[in-house]
């Protein structure tokens, strides 16, 4: 009887612990900008993001531009991709050295070319780095406001990093 009771309590406790952990996924990326609307235009030109909303006081320029992927603004608003937030950086606040966005791209060479044409500055060359034993093509750059960006091209048929 004691063994049965201990087993039931143990299984119940294990189930409770598993249920207490919430599912999670990437919700958004936030980067600072000297001029949020101007930097949002960079992300539209370089990566195809669309503005779906903004934060602004009446009569003042936006302090935050909210963007998402979609073929059109309507599709981006209806979509469920993570949001990309471009927020006004306070005067004197330096771009974050660690915080950055990582984009999964299908053609790293085309993406790098588009980003450079839109004003990005490369930090080195496109490199192949083994992650989980799989070669991943990676490029790092800065946007026009100095935020670090990373782009990754996964092997064809792969939709996530092999960890």
| Model pLDDT, residue 45 | 96
3-state DSSP call for residue 33? Answer: strand
pTM metric for this prediction: 0.65
Q: What is the pLDDT of residue 80?
A: 83
Grouping H, G, I as helix, E, B as strand and the rest as coil, residue 31 is: strand
Q: Distances from the Cα of 5 to the Cαs of 9, 10, 117, in angstroms?
A: 6, 8, 68
pLDDT tens for the chain, residues 1 to 163: 444 444 443 444 444 444 444 555 667 888 888 899 999 999 999 999 999 998 888 898 898 898 999 999 999 999 888 889 898 888 777 776 556 788 888 899 999 999 999 999 999 999 998 887 889 999 999 999 988 888 889 898 887 776 5
Residue 23: predicted pLDDT? 58
Determine the pLDDT at residue 131.
81
Please state which CATH number belongs to domain 26-90+99-153.
3.10.180.10
- For β-strands 134-142 and 148-153, DSSP reports them as antiparallel
- Interatomic CA distance for residues 66 and 101, integer angstroms: 14
Alpha helices per DSSP H over 98-153: 108-117
- Confidence (pLDDT) at 140: 92
What is the reported pLDDT for 5?
40
């Amino acid at each position: 009887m004691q063994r049965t009771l201990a087993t039931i309590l143990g299984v119940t406790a294990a189930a409770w612990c598993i249920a207490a952990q919430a599912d999670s996924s990437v919700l958004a990326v936030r980067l600072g900008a000297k001029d949020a609307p101007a930097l949002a235009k960079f992300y539209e030109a370089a990566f195809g993001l669309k503005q779906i909303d903004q934060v602004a006081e009446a009569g003042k320029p936006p302090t935050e531009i909210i963007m998402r992927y979609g073929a059109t603004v309507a599709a981006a608003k209806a979509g469920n991709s993570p949001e990309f937030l471009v927020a006004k950086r306070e005067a004197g606040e330096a771009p974050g050295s660690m915080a950055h966005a990582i984009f999964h791209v299908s053609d790293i060479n085309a993406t790098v070319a588009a980003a450079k044409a839109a004003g990005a500055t490369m930090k080195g060359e496109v490199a192949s780095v083994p992650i989980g034993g799989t070669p991943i093509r990676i490029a790092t750059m800065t946007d026009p406001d100095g935020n670090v960006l990373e782009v990754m091209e996964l092997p064809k048929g792969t939709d996530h990093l092999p960890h």
